[in-house]
Amino acid sequence: MSFDFLSAAALAVVLAIYVGIFVLRRRKADFTLTILGCLLAGGLVGFAFQGHTDWVLPFGKIYVTVLAAIVIPLIAVSILSSVTSLGSIRQLKGIGLKSVLWLMVTNAVAIVLAIGLGLVFGVGKNSNLVIEGVDATNFEGSTVSFSEVLIGFFPRNIFYDAANDHIIPVILFTVLIAVAYVLVASRDRALVAPFKDLVEAVKAIIFKAVTFIIELTPYAVVSLVAVQSSRGFTNTGIIWSLLVLLAVSFIAFAIDTWAVNAVLLKSFANVAPLAFFRKIVPAQVVAFSTQSSTGTLPVTTRILTERVGVSPEVANFTAPLGTTIGMPGCAGIWPVLTAIYGVHGLGINYGVREYLVLAVMALFVSLGTAGVPGTATVVTASVLTAVGLPLEVMVLTIPISAIADTGRTATNVTGAMVASTIVAHSERELDRDVFGRPHARRLDPQPAGIPAHA
């Protein structure tokens, strides 16, 4: 077997690029710009070393494998932390359940919207994706009846389910444990305090691990884009298909943010949509510019209480909960469109049943959305895993995902504010006098240094 000098040269070039990435990140270079630079670098490597990038492939594969490994622990700890924060049966039955319900409703509508737009615009068609080790025929024969899918939602052995990436059973089991905690805590909080402390400790550790994995994203982009481009990236239509995916995403963000939410506000909170949207513009601008739902929270809660009239009790619970549950931008629209992009790009035969399963899976996965940098990446990986699609599809969309993060975050924040307003109305915690009052005072600007995540 002769030594492949071109493959060795490609590997050497990629390693040199990795050194450059490391230096840039140490100097706090903008993450989005770094990702876009990696897209260009990977494309150039693939073009220069056509057919000689096999030695580069393992670096991207390692990222995909590690990302898949963190998905289930992250979902479980996110759900446990969110539900156990309720603290009492009254909160669980009142504000808690209504908040979860409306946050999920906003995401359910976004999921249906994304499927409709994805099919209408044919997202991913003619991209002819070629992904190492993926045989689309395996997906065509893997469909099962809806009754089997429904039964499969429920856990039979939590360790077996976790080991086999059965995400929905893990979510349901975690919700069961979290609700049981709230019930026990309402009688004897001291008894279960160690459990809550353990959950928060594990959450802090898992979230820190996720930040390490997300930091590997630029390296994975170089590897996987180089491999894809060396196999005909520029000839397969993938660039055009990614631009279509990005454009359709922003169309979906706009429709969901203004049209869908206008209907929800008028129908379920009896609030004038245009007046509401004028009041929340500062929060949307901060979300769009910082790409951080959590970082926008100070502005979000202040607008809800001082301009919209939502009581502090609801605003300070539902809005923060909206950074971990629901999130129509990064847990609804983006992962669903990415999944459709993969289905079309790989030529997988999807029917009504399969799209229904995709919608249900995406909705359930959104229960465990983590409020950490790279949220959309993790959630998209979770959805693709749940429906059996290869994670490499998600990695190929990361460069445009960085751009879409602006619209995703604004959509997330708007959805959380709408859900907060509806919950406040149903709990008689919405002050109509405050809502009708003109707002003249300018809110303080968002502090710098907010870590970006949707």
pLDDT tens digits, 353-400:
899 989 998 998 888 676 565 678 888 988 898 888 888 888 788 878
Q: Is the pLDDT confidence value at 449 over 50?
A: no
94-102 average pLDDT score: 87
When pLDDT is averaged across residues 122-135 and rounded to a whole number, the result is 73
Distance, CA of 365 to CA of 360 (rounded, Å):
9
Each as own residue / partner, the long-range contacts of residues 371-374 (CB below 8 Å, 24 or more positions apart, any chain) are 371/78, 371/293, 371/294, 371/323, 371/324, 371/453, 372/207, 372/210, 372/211, 372/214, 372/453, 373/210, 373/211, 373/214, 373/451, 373/452, 373/453, 374/210, 374/211, 374/213, 374/214, 374/217, 374/453
- Predicted local distance difference test score (pLDDT) of residue 440: 47
Average pLDDT, the chain: 84
Lowest mean pLDDT among 40-49, 197-206, 236-245: 236-245
Domain range list for the chain: 5-436
Name the pTM for this structure.
0.79
Decide if pLDDT at 140 tops 60: no
Contact 443, 279 (CB under 8 A): no
Tell me, what's the pLDDT at 444?
A: 46
pLDDT at residue 165 is higher than 60:
yes
pLDDT for residue 387: 87
Is it the case that residue 442 has pLDDT exceeding 70?
A: no
pLDDT value at position 278? 94
When mean pLDDT is compared across 82-86, 133-137, 209-213, the lowest value belongs to 133-137
Task: Please indicate whether residue 161 or residue 344 has the higher confidence score (pLDDT).
Answer: 344
CA dihedral 334, 340, 346, 350 (to 10 degrees): 150
Confidence class of residue 136 from pLDDT cuts 50, 70 and 90?
Answer: very low
Among 261-275, 343-357, 377-391, 426-440, which range has the highest average pLDDT? Answer: 261-275
Nearest in space to 67 (alpha carbons), one of 164, 201, 209: 209
Check residue 195 and give its pLDDT: 94
Q: Where are the alpha helices (DSSP H) in 308-388?
A: 312-321, 334-345, 352-365, 375-387
Which of the four pLDDT bands, split at 50, 70 and 90, describes residue 88?
low
Radius of gyration of the chain (CA): 22
Which amino acid, one-letter code, is at 352?
Answer: V
Q: Looking at domain 5-436, does it have CATH number 1.10.3860?
A: yes
| Residue given tokens 């999130």 in the structure block | 327
The pLDDT value given to residue 149: 55
The answer to whether 401 and 253 have CB atoms below 8 angstroms apart is no
Higher pLDDT, 38 or 289: 38
pLDDT at 433: 93
Whether the predicted pLDDT of 294 surpasses 90: no
Q: 84-99: b or e for each residue (b if 16 or more CB lie within 10 Å)?
A: bbbbeeebbebbbebb
Per the listing, tokens 């005909």 go with 232
- What mean pLDDT comes out for the span 258-267? 98
Among 138-142, 302-306, 398-402, the range scoring the smallest mean pLDDT is: 138-142
Q: Which two tokens stand for residue 184?
A: 């026990």
